[in-house]
Amino acid sequence: MDRTLFRGDIDVDTAIGVILYTFEGYAQGEANPVNSAADHYSEYGRYLSDLDRYIKIFRTSFYQ
C-alpha cells in the first residue's frame, strides 16, 4: 500500500487498520465451515465484486 497516496488529513495507520478490519470482517462473514472449497470457488466472482466496491469507497475516502 502506497502511504504517499493518502490524504494529508488522514492518519495513515488508522486508515490501514480500518481497511484490514473491514476485509477481515468480510472474510469471517463469508466463511462457512459447512461449505466446500468448490462452494466458495463458485462465489469467487461475487467476492471480487464485493471487495472491489469496498476498495472504491476506501480510495474515495482516504486517497488524495
**63 pLDDT exceeds 80?**
yes
CB proximity list for 47: less than 8 A, separation 6 or greater: 30
The domain total for the chain is 1
pTM: 0.80
Q: What is the C-alpha to C-alpha distance for residues 24 and 17, in angstroms, rounded to an integer?
A: 10
pLDDT bin (cut points 50, 70, 90) of residue 53 is very high
Helix (H, G, I), strand (E, B) or coil at 56: helix
**16 pLDDT exceeds 80?**
yes
Burial track 4-17 (b if 16+ CB lie within 10 A, e otherwise): eebeeeeeeeebbe
**Containing structural domain, residue 32:** 3-62
**Displacement of CA 20 from its chain's centroid (Å):** 7
**35 pLDDT exceeds 80?**
no
